[in-house]
Amino acid sequence: VERCMSSMQTGTQMIKLRGGSKGLVRFYYLDEHKSCIRWRPSRKNEKAKISIDSIQEVCEGKQSEIFQRYADGSFDPNCCFSIYYGDHMESLDLVSSSGEEARTWITGLKYLMAGISDEDSLSKRQRTRDQYPSYTFDEADKNGDGSLSINEVLQLMHKLNVNLPRQKVKQMFKEADTDDNQGTLGFDEFCAFYKMMSTRRDLYLLMLTYSNHKDYLDTDDLRRFLEIEQKMMNVTKEHCLEIISKFEPCLENKKEGALGIDGFTNYMRSPSGDIFNPEHYQVHQDMSYPLSHYFITSSHNTYLMGDQLMSQSRVDMYAWVLQSGCRCVEVDCWDGPDGEPIVHHGYTLTSKILFKDVIETINKYAFIKNEYPVILSIENHCSVIQQKKMAQYLTEILGDKLDLSSVNNDDSTRLPSPASLKGKILVKGKKLPANISDDAEEGEVSDEDSADEIDDDCKLMNGDASTNRKRVETIAKKKLDSLIKESKIRDREDPNNFTVTTLPSSGKAVLKSDSKKNKLEDDVESGEDFSTNKRHSRSLMGSFSKRKKKGSKLKKATSLEEGEDDSDSQGNLAR
C-alpha cells in the first residue's frame, strides 16, 4: 500500500476519455495530504481535483458508459478504470499506459476509501475538519508561493462570509505568524490561524456557563452539563473521565481530568453529543411482521441518470441505489433487438441497456450493505418470447437468491416477513392470464406504467432519432412560449387596481382609433376612470406587439437551432 501511495503522489500520465471525442492526456497525482486527486494541465487550476471523500466507487476495466462508446479493441481492458464521485455519480474514465499502473491506482484509491468508510463518525468529522484548511489554503494562495499574506487572508475571510473585525483578524494573523514575524503564514501557521478563527462561540459560552467561567470543565462540571443540558440520568465520575480520555486532545488536561474547549467541541460534534440515538444506526425494530406492515425505501425509474425524456440509462444506477439503502428498484422492460430484452423509459429518447446486465448488477450489489430483501418492480412490456428470456436470466443469474416461495405456495394468504427473507430477491409484477396459450407471442401484463406519466402528445414512436428529437424540441418550445406569454401578462399587472388573469375576450374590449387617439370601450367596466383604462390598454397592447416581434425573431433563431441539432443528431447516428 505504501508503494501505491508513493507512486500515486509521484504521479502518472493517463488518458481521460470524454465520450465521442478524442481523449485528453493529463498528468494525475495524489496530493501531499492524500485528500484529493489532482491533474494538470487544466483551465480549472486549483479546482481541478476530486476529493477522496467524494469518491463513491472505483471500477476496473471498461465498465462505464463512456468506455462502451469506443470500439472493441480501442483500449486494453487491463489499463482501464473508472472513478465514480459526487452525489450524482459522475465518472472519470482513465486509460493508463500499463496494467500495473492501473492496478496501482485502483488499489491505492480503494485503500483510501476504505480508510474513510471504516472510521467512526468522530474520526471522519475530525479528518474532514483537518483537511478543510488544506483546501482553503490552496485556494487562497493566489500567487502560488506556498504562503498567505494578510491581504490574501482577508480576501479568504470575505469569501467564507466570516464577519470578524479587520483588527481582530490582523491580531489573530500576528499570533499565528510564529516564524520570526515574516508577515506571511505557511501551511502549519494557517492551520493554527484557522482553528482560532473557527472556534464556535456558542459552545465556548456553553462551557463557561457550566464551568463557572473557567476555560475547562472538570468532572463535576461535566456531570452537571450532562444531567441538566443533555438530560442524561445517573452520570458517574467514571463516565465523565471516559469522555475526557476519548475527546480531549491535550495530554495535560487528560492527566488532570479536565475537558478544554477543543475536547468539548470534539464531544459535542461526535455521535455521543448527537440528539440522534446511536442505537438506531442499526435496524432496531421488530422485523418479523409481514412485508405489508412496513414502509419500503423505493426507487422510481432507477436506471435513469436524469430526466424521463432524454437522459441516459445506466446499470451503475442500480449499484448506487442498492448501496444507498433502497430495497425496491424499478425495471422497465421492453422487447429488444436479437431477442434480448432491454430496459429504458418507453416512448422517449432515453438510452437503452440490456435486461441481463441489470440483473447481473443487482445480483452483485444487492446485499453488500443491507441484508434485507430486495424487490424488483418489473414493468413488463415484453412479448411472451422475451418474457421467457427474462425468466431464464432471473433464475440463472440470481440462483438461490431468487425467492420462489410464493410461486410454489399458491395457498399462502400471509406475506413473509423481512427477517425471513434476508438475502432474498423478490419479483413484483403482473402475471400473464392462466389460460394463455403456450404458443402465444403477446399478453397484456401492465395496465398502469411509466408510459402513462407522459402526455400522449409527448410520446415518441419507433422511428428516425432525428425526427423524434425535433418533435421533442417542438413540444418544449410550445410549452415555453405559453409560459412566456403568461409571465409577461402577469408582469403587466397593477396590484393596486386589478388583476389580469387571461387575455381580454373579444366581446368585452374593443379598440377604436381615430386621427388623434385610441380609446378603450369596456361595457362591463364603464364606471372606471377612463384615463386609467387607457393606460392599461396601451400597456397590454404594447406588450402584445413586442411579443409578436420577439416571436418572429425567436422563430428564425429556432429554425437555425433545429438545423444545427439535426446535423448533430445525424452525426451522432453516423458515429
Could you give the C-alpha distances from 373 to 185, 207, 255, 353, 424, in angstroms and in order? 55, 47, 50, 24, 5
The pLDDT of residue 118 is 46
- Kindly state the DSSP code that residue 298 receives in the 8-state scheme: B
Rounded to the nearest integer, the mean pLDDT of the chain is 77
- pLDDT category at 466 given cuts 50, 70, 90 is low
b/e string for 89-120 if b means 16 or more Cβ within 10 A?
Answer: eebbbbbbeeeebbbbbbbbbbebbeeeeeee
Identify the residue whose cell numbers are 437468491.
Answer: 401
- pLDDT category at 135 given cuts 50, 70, 90 is low
Has 284 been annotated as catalytic? no
> What share of the chain in percent tops pLDDT 90?
34
Of the candidates 88, 158, 293, 300, the residue annotated as catalytic is 300
Of the candidates 344, 345, 381, 536, the residue annotated as catalytic is 344
Q: Check if the beta carbon of residue 341 is closer than 8 Å to that of residue 389.
A: yes
What is the spatial distance between Cα 539 and Cα 531, in angstroms, rounded to a whole number?
Answer: 12
Q: Check if the beta carbon of residue 260 is closer than 8 Å to that of residue 247.
A: no
**pLDDT at residue 498 is higher than 90:** no
**pLDDT at residue 548 is higher than 70:** no
**pLDDT at residue 562 is higher than 80:** no
pLDDT in tens, 209-238: 899 878 899 999 999 999 999 888 889 999
- pLDDT category at 445 given cuts 50, 70, 90 is low
Give me the torsion for CA of 417, 420, 424, 429, rounded to 10°: -30
- pLDDT category at 441 given cuts 50, 70, 90 is low
pLDDT in tens, 514-540: 443 444 344 434 344 434 444 443 433
Closest among 16, 178, 202, 7 to 106, alpha carbons compared: 7
**pLDDT at residue 106 is higher than 70:** yes
Q: Average pLDDT in the 330-343 region?
A: 94
- pLDDT category at 506 given cuts 50, 70, 90 is very low
pLDDT in tens, 363-376: 999 999 999 999 99
The pLDDT of residue 439 is 66
Beta-carbon count within 10 A of 165 CB? 8
Higher confidence at residue 566 or residue 162? 162
**pLDDT at residue 552 is higher than 60:** no
What is the spatial distance between Cα 430 and Cα 91, in angstroms, rounded to a whole number?
Answer: 36
The pLDDT of residue 409 is 60
The pLDDT of residue 488 is 63
- pLDDT category at 110 given cuts 50, 70, 90 is confident
**pLDDT at residue 102 is higher than 80:** yes
What is the spatial distance between Cα 344 and Cα 339, in angstroms, rounded to a whole number?
Answer: 16
The pLDDT of residue 279 is 77
The pLDDT of residue 385 is 92
What is the spatial distance between Cα 510 and Cα 286, in angstroms, rounded to a whole number?
Answer: 72
- pLDDT category at 453 given cuts 50, 70, 90 is low
**pLDDT at residue 128 is higher than 60:** no
pLDDT in tens, 20-45: 677 899 999 999 888 899 999 887 76
**pLDDT at residue 105 is higher than 50:** yes
- Least confident among 113-122, 283-292, 336-345: 113-122
Has 344 been annotated as catalytic? yes
**All domains in the chain, ordered by first residue:** 2-118 (2.30.29.30), 123-198 (1.10.238.10), 201-278 (1.10.238.10), 291-458 (3.20.20.190), 494-574 (no CATH)
- Least confident among 12-21, 61-70, 130-139: 130-139
pTM of the model: 0.52
The pLDDT of residue 499 is 43
Closest among 93, 101, 81 to 8, alpha carbons compared: 101
Q: Check if the beta carbon of residue 206 is closer than 8 Å to that of residue 192.
A: no
